[in-house]
Amino acid sequence: QLQQSCHIQALESVRCKRYWNISIHNIRYHFIPACGCGLPTLPPVLSRVVAGEDVRPHSWPWQISLQSDSSGRWQHVCGGTLLSSEWVLTAAHCINDRYNYRVELGKHSLKTSEEGSVALRAAAIISHEDYNILLSRNDIALIKLSSSVIFSDTIMPACLPDGGVVLPHRAPCYVTGWGRLSTGGALADVLQQAFLPVVGHDICSQPDWWSVLATDKMVCAGGDGVTAGCNGDSGGPLNCQNPDGSWDVHGVVSFGSGQGCNVLQKPTVFTQVSSYIDWMNTVMTNY
């Protein structure tokens, strides 16, 4: 019998990071503990390049593609974050009640059939009851998958921060997604990552930045006029590394400037995950 001590946080977002590989009667099993999160088998190759770049395949294994059948076939509409074997986090503005949705996990290239990827229908979608589409407030939603996904080297859950945690100004984080590579451009085929330092709320809420649109339940990141989240990145994660090397998802891509993807002093704005831990726990308990 194997045991390990875990410091359990909300949503089983915990700090135990070891993986058990066990051979029984010459059959090899790869066990990922229920408390494992935030440490990819293949760590991301980090750089602070200007603009985004292709990621190392499967180095952000909690990144999902949310797809709708709005055009008669499945198409990528938003990103999202795998939280557990049954639950995915995304943005409320990604959801339209007229359409059906599925979640594709373990993907690197959206156009290629890849070993280790899986597509599951959404069994339930719960948007925040106080979501305000005009002000982009409470822009958060949870998706319950139609069946439990099996964790692997390509599919792992993210860690989440403790409730109420606020990132400091210039905290180094990365946004990931298959969003448009430029304003009005095509969606990326291969998953992209971009370095986005956090902009403190006192700066982001200034009149020449986002002013009152940026609330204390949001995280701003970027704003250098070069690098930003773009259309199609919506709902995806803002990934920030802990001192122990694990990654917490602190944000859900919510909105950017209507003038384009990379506008000076108009950073990408994320729903601040730490402000919604209690809401997420309540939803996941009741469904």
- Cβ atoms 197, 204 nearer than 8 A: no
Per-residue pLDDT averaged across 83-110, rounded? Answer: 97
Percent of the chain with pLDDT over 70: 79
Helix (H, G, I), strand (E, B) or coil at 132: strand
Per-residue pLDDT averaged across 26-53, rounded? Answer: 67
- Please work out, in degrees rounded to the nearest 5, the angle formed at the alpha carbon of residue 79 by the alpha carbons of 93 and 61: 150
Phi-psi label, residue 153: left if phi above 0, alpha if psi -120 to 50, beta otherwise: alpha
Please report where in the chains the tokens 């099996």 appear, as a residue: 150
Average confidence score pLDDT of the chain:
84
User: pLDDT tens digit string along 191-229?
Assistant: 999 888 899 999 999 999 999 999 999 999 987 656 555
Confidence (pLDDT) at 227? 58
Phi-psi label, residue 250: left if phi above 0, alpha if psi -120 to 50, beta otherwise: alpha
Confidence (pLDDT) at 261? 60
- Cβ atoms 78, 235 nearer than 8 A: yes
Structure token pair of residue 141? 């939603």
Alpha-helical (H) ranges within the chain are: 201-204, 277-286
So which residues are the catalytic ones?
93, 139, 234
Would the pTM of this model clear 0.95, i.e. be above it? Answer: no
Confidence (pLDDT) at 222? 85
HSE of 249, CA atoms in CB hemisphere, 13 A: 34
- Cβ atoms 150, 158 nearer than 8 A: no
- Cβ atoms 14, 242 nearer than 8 A: no
Which residues pair with residue 16 across a beta bridge? none
34 pLDDT above the threshold of 50: no
Domains and CATH numbers, the chain: 63-157+276-286 (2.40.10.10), 172-274 (2.40.10.10)
260 pLDDT above the threshold of 80: no
Model confidence at 131, pLDDT cuts 50, 70, 90, reads very high
